[in-house]
Structure 1
Amino acid sequence: MSDDALTTWCEVREQVDWSSAANVSPAPVRPAVDGLAVWFDGPVRLRDPDRADRLLAAMALSRAAASQGEPLTPALLAGWQKLVLGVNEVRLRRSDAFAKDGRERYGLTPHTWQDFAACLHQSADPSVTLPARAARAYLDIAFFHPYPDDNARLALLVLAHVLETEGVRLDEVGPLQTIRYADAPEGALDLAALVTVLIRATQRRATTRREKAPAEPAR
């Protein structure tokens, strides 16, 4: 049997110096283009229109939760996942899970979901920079692999939720759609760096667009 990638991730997670990740301005970032909505309404819709509609509904629910300051919890994620899958009930997986054509195995122990809840709680830790918290939460979903299906899309919703709690939206999410490995601490920090780059690029493009917009006529 393959090594337990979840155990590996939990060890790597503690080794990564998340505080070394660059920070960004705390000012809200409102893009000219809603990158998450565009991703769901574009590439996802081309493959599965119904899934796109469900993801957009889950995105709206996640943003409402962020606006109310709701912390990430397994119960909150379950509500989103029901929308994503179009079902009335979802359950955390009850056995080992596999990904990457079986190359990664995510184990299950009596304390897995308690650990998962604790990791979600850390997504609001103010001692860690926003990009690092968002990246770490994304990877937590990827490697805890809480549900049998659609964990990748849930991870994207979770990353966006963490950013949204501080008023940040991205105008592009496509670069986030790459394969991540549980045993790569440098990859975890690279993801945090990528989130930082995307936030700054979004902010720059939004500012440029505002500056180029024609002035409203005086009344």
Structure 2
Amino acid sequence: MTATDSLSTWLCVRGEADWHQAPTLWREPTARDGFRAWCEGPVRQRDPVRANRLLLAHTLARADATRRAPLDFALLATWQREVLGKTEAPFRANDAHAKAGRERYGLTPRTQADFAACLREATDSELPLAARAARAYLDVAFFHPFTDGNARAALLTLVHVLAREDIVLPEVGPLQITRYADDPAGAADLATLIGVLNRRRY
């Protein structure tokens, strides 16, 4: 029996989540870059090569935010080549699976175009920034565009969306909990969590 297409489920949930209730983010500067601290701390302890690759990708993502580069698959692939240490990072060619096979992300002739449309909405000023960052993170997680490293790509995307508007979270570790495609409350909670982390000061 084929598992339900969790990508289709996510696209429905995406339209149902109460994004407008996301908190307003503070633009007060923080001395701590949570992504870099995470790379230099727990990631480096586990795998120094992985940490170095993530830091290179993070530098690119931040630079792309500064120059206001359009958020699209080609941009994500640039970061992902650094993340994976590979010369190519193409869009997946088949259905993808995650969570020990409990979620399946289908692939249709429209998948890449749908993904592009979702990424473009990351700059839609009609929604709070925390909501747009959370939604972009989940878009990458559930479109699952790459054959490997999608969780890292999702986190880099979130960092990029925030950095475009001069927001740097002082901590990113709490963002990395398992998310499910069929959970609209959980999607909204991610935006709330971004607000909580934004208010932490070190």
TM-score > 0.5, shorter chain as reference: yes
TM-score, normalization by structure 2: 0.97
Alpha-carbon distance in 2 for matches of 1:186, 1:90: 32
What is the identity, as a one-letter code, of the residue corresponding to 1:91?
Answer: P
Q: How does 1:33-182 map to 2 (within 5 A)?
A: 33-182=32-181
Cα distance, 1:30 vs structure 2? 2.5
SS state at 2:199 partner: helix
Q: How many residues align?
A: 201
SS state at 2:40 partner: helix
What is the identity, as a one-letter code, of the residue corresponding to 1:200?
Answer: R
Alpha-carbon distance in 2 for matches of 1:99, 1:31: 34
The superposition leaves residues 118-143 of structure 1 with CA deviations (integer Å, 9 ceiling, x where unpaired) of 00000000001010000000000110
Cα distance, 1:17 vs structure 2? 2.3
Does structure 2 conserve the Cα–Cα contact (< 8 Å) formed by 1:4 and 1:107? yes
Alpha-carbon distance in 1 for matches of 2:188, 2:89: 31
Cα distance, 1:43 vs structure 2? 1.1
SS state at 1:105 partner: strand
Cα distance, 1:149 vs structure 2? 0.5
SS state at 1:168 partner: coil
Does structure 2 conserve the Cα–Cα contact (< 8 Å) formed by 1:71 and 1:124? no
- List 4+ stretches of structure 1 deviating above 6 A: none
Alpha-carbon distance in 2 for matches of 1:49, 1:24: 32
Alpha-carbon distance in 2 for matches of 1:68, 1:139: 24
Q: Percent identity among equivalent residues?
A: 56
What is the identity, as a one-letter code, of the residue corresponding to 1:111?
Answer: R
Alpha-carbon distance in 2 for matches of 1:128, 1:24: 12
Does structure 2 conserve the Cα–Cα contact (< 8 Å) formed by 1:63 and 1:164? yes
SS state at 1:155 partner: helix
Alpha-carbon distance in 2 for matches of 1:30, 1:45: 26
- Equivalent in the alignment of 1:213: none
Alpha-carbon distance in 2 for matches of 1:88, 1:30: 35
- Equivalent in the alignment of 1:209: none
Alpha-carbon distance in 2 for matches of 1:166, 1:88: 30
Cα distance, 1:109 vs structure 2? 0.5
Alpha-carbon distance in 1 for matches of 2:127, 2:146: 27
Root-mean-square deviation (CA), in Å?
1.0
SS state at 2:64 partner: helix
Matched, 1:8 2:6: no
Query: Which structure has the greater CA radius of gyration?
Result: 1
The superposition leaves residues 59-79 of structure 1 with CA deviations (integer Å, 9 ceiling, x where unpaired) of 000000000111211010010
What is the identity, as a one-letter code, of the residue corresponding to 1:115?
Answer: D
- Please list every run of 5 or more consecutive structure 2 residues that lacks an aligned counterpart in the other structure: none
Alpha-carbon distance in 2 for matches of 1:96, 1:43: 31
